[in-house]
């Protein structure tokens, strides 16, 4: 059985690349599946994310050349982006795939598909199996009568039997692990740094991520020089370095605009590592708060101090509790089993 795996595999690290790599590696263990990869990654660095260029058009023709190798009995599993130029690229890929085979599944890792479904293209989505990753997405698209499947994200356990490390300092160490832009909270980092300094709060901010514009790069470098408790390290380029950095902290700091993210993989990486999540409101943040693994910040951060005080009182035992929550709720083997059921047999 041939499965055309049409996902971004190369390029700078982001959530879709991370989970697609894990999915591909897991599917490759099944001897009954012949995986044929078509890499759709077009961004060469963090500054290229979401930006149009004529090179992307020529690259699209290279992708379509490979898509034309799909045969009638083949399966296609396509990452589908409902925003920007990538939407038009992926829509064209999806259209060509359906001329080759009827066995097509798309995986939606971003918000906004409901705004792209129109009377003239609905027929194409009706013929497609659609995987979404949270209940808000599901409600927004199932009203169109589409063939939708809810499959929340999961990741394999990086640590397995490796014991977690604990920060012995009385200060709370936060790690921010995301690309840096307005939507992803760079100005909230600035506001938080001002708050920490003005109230003399004992904590550290460790910032990791690539900048998406020169303006963002200038700002984070200014913050790095202005506050002793804030350190900017740049992007993390491999999994080992990432989890090494995560382990040195007590909590994840996630500051994207409200409901900007669908289901951040960094949440799972944090829980896997025993870190409590301090996050602005996202589609799944209330559920995590109800599970006692997250604290939800207001967009203006005016509840940061009270949430930090509450966390500090229970910091000693939090890592083991959070880690156990991950082990109970995120089963990557079950995730792959369900994914195969949808893409290969659904």
**pLDDT confidence bin for 49, thresholds 50/70/90:** low
Whether pLDDT at 30 is above 90: yes
Band the pLDDT of 141: cuts 50, 70, 90: very high
Q: How far apart are CA 182 and CA 257, in angstroms?
A: 8
The conformation of residue 115, written as its DSSP 8-state character, comes to G
Q: Is the pLDDT assigned to residue 255 strictly greater than 80? A: yes
Residue position matching structure tokens 């595999």: 9
Structure tokens belonging to residue 171: 């200060």
Residue 169's pLDDT band, with cuts at 50, 70 and 90, is confident
Exposed, middle or buried, 115 (CB in 10 Å: 0-12/13-18/19+)? exposed
Residue 167 lies in a domain: no
Model-level pTM?
Answer: 0.92
The rounded distance, in Å, linking the Cα atoms of 214 and 212 is 7
**pLDDT band at residue 162, thresholds of 50, 70 and 90?**
confident
Q: How much of the chain is in helix, strand and coil states, percent to nearest 5? A: 45, 20, 40
Q: State residue 48's pLDDT score.
A: 52
pLDDT at 47 over 70: no
Main-chain phi, psi angles of 201, to 5 degrees: -80, 135
Residues 105 and 176 in one domain: no
Does residue 159 sit within a domain? Answer: no
Q: Are residues 58 and 81 in the same domain?
A: yes
DSSP 42-75: --SSGGGTT---HHHHHHHHHHHHHHTT--TT-E
Q: Above 80 in pLDDT, residue 50?
A: no
Number of helices followed by number of strands (H, E) in the chain? 13, 12
Domain assignment of residue 257, given as a range: 172-329
Q: What is the structure's pLDDT at 45?
A: 59
Mean pLDDT, the chain, whole residue set: 93
Are 23 and 93 members of one domain? yes
Q: Give tens-digit pLDDT for 278-335.
A: 999 999 999 999 999 999 999 999 999 999 999 998 887 899 999 999 999 999 999 9
**Distance from C-alpha of 34 to C-alpha of 266, rounded to nearest angstrom:** 30
80 and 205, same domain (yes or no): no
Share of the chain above pLDDT 70, in %: 96
DSSP 40: -
The answer on 177 and 57 residing in a single domain is: no
Q: Give me 287's structure tokens.
A: 């559920």
Number of domains the chain contains = 2
Q: Are 80 and 132 a contacting pair, CB within 8 Å?
A: no
Q: Which two tokens stand for residue 229?
A: 């408790």
Look at residue 12 in the predicted model and tell me its pLDDT.
Answer: 75
Cβ atoms of 299 and 280 closer than 8 Å: yes
Examine the domain organization and report whether 205 and 298 are in the same domain: yes
Tell me: pLDDT of 46 over 60: no
In a shared domain, residues 298 and 203: yes
Nearest to 159 by CA among 234, 251, 242: 242
Highest mean pLDDT out of 49-53, 104-108, 157-161: 104-108
139 & 176 share domain: no
Give the CATH number for residue 35.
Answer: 3.40.50.11930
Tell me if 5 sits within 8 A of 77, measured CB to CB: yes
Residue 188 has pLDDT above 80, yes or no: yes
For residues 82-87, average pLDDT: 90
159 or 14, greater pLDDT:
159
The residue-averaged pLDDT of 69-82 equals 96
Residues 119 and 204 in one domain: no
148 and 7 within one domain: yes
d(CA 70, CA 100): 6
d(Cα 305, Cα 196) in Å, to the nearest integer?
9
CATH number for position 227: 3.40.50.2000
Query: Is residue 14 one of the residues assigned to a domain?
Result: yes
Q: How far is CA 17 from the centre of its chain?
A: 9
Q: Considering only 126-135, 157-166, 232-241, which range has the smallest mean pLDDT?
A: 157-166
Q: What integer pLDDT is reported at residue 315 of this predicted model?
A: 85
Give yes or no: residues 41 and 79 share one domain.
Answer: yes
Provide the 3-class DSSP secondary structure of residue 221: helix
Does residue 93 fall inside a structural domain? Answer: yes
Residue whose C-alpha is closest to residue 90's, from 182, 12, 16:
16
Residue 164: predicted pLDDT: 81
Decide if 162 is inside a domain: no
Determine the pLDDT at residue 170: 84
Query: 236 and 337 share a domain?
Result: no
């Amino acid at each position: 059985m041939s499965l055309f795996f049409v996902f971004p595999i190369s390029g700078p690290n982001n959530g879709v690349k991370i989970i697609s790599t894990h999915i591909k590696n897991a599917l490759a263990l099944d001897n009954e599946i012949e995986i044929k990869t078509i890499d759709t990654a077009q961004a060469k660095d963090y500054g290229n994310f979401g930006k149009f260029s004529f090179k992307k058009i020529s690259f699209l023709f290279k992708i379509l050349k490979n898509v034309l190798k799909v045969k009638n009995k083949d399966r296609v599993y396509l990452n589908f982006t409902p925003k920007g130029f990538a939407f038009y690229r992926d829509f064209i890929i999806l259209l060509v795939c359906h001329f080759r085979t009827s066995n097509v599944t798309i995986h939606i890792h971003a918000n906004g598909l409901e705004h792209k479904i129109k009377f003239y293209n609905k027929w194409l989505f009706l013929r497609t199996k659609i995987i979404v990753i949270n209940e808000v997405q599901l409600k927004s698209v199932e009203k169109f009568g589409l063939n939708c499947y809810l499959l929340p994200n999961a990741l394999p356990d990086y640590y397995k039997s490796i014991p977690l490390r604990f920060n012995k300092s009385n200060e709370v160490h936060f790690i921010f692990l995301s690309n840096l832009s307005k939507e992803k909270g760079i100005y909230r980092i600035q506001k938080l740094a001002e708050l920490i300094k003005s109230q003399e709060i004992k904590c550290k901010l460790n910032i990791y991520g690539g900048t998406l514009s020169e303006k963002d790069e200038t700002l984070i470098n200014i913050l790095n020089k202005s506050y002793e408790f804030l350190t900017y390290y740049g992007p993390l380029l491999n999994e080992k370095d990432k989890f090494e950095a995560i382990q040195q902290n007590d909590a994840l700091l996630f500051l994207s605009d409200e409901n900007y993210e669908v289901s951040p993989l960094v949440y799972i990486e944090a829980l896997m590592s025993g870190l409590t999540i301090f996050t602005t409101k996202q589609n799944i943040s209330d559920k995590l708060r109800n599970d006692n693994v997250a604290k939800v910040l207001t967009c203006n951060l005016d509840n940061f101090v009270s949430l930090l005080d509450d966390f500090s009182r229970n910091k000693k035992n939090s890592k083991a509790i959070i880690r156990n929550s991950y082990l109970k709720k995120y089963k990557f083997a079950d995730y792959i089993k369900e994914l195969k059921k949808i893409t290969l047999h659904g």
